[in-house]
Amino acid sequence: MTQQGAVLQGYNNELVKCIEDLCMQKEELNKQIQQAQEEKNKLQHEIQVLSEQLECVCENLAQKVASRNELDKILAETEAAYMKILDSSRTLLNVLKKEVGSLKHSPDLKTN
Q: pLDDT of 21-47, one tens digit each? A: 999 999 999 999 999 999 999 999 999
Across the chain, mean pLDDT equals 93
Rounded to the nearest 5°, which phi and psi values hold at 108? -65, 145
Q: What angle do CA 16, 22, 25 make, to 5 degrees?
A: 145
Average pLDDT over residues 76-93: 97
99: amino acid identity, one letter: E
pLDDT at residue 102 greater than cutoff 90: no
pLDDT for the residue numbered 105 = 77
- Using a cut of 0.85, tell me whether the model's pTM lies above it: no
pLDDT tens for 42-68 read 999 999 999 999 999 999 999 999 999
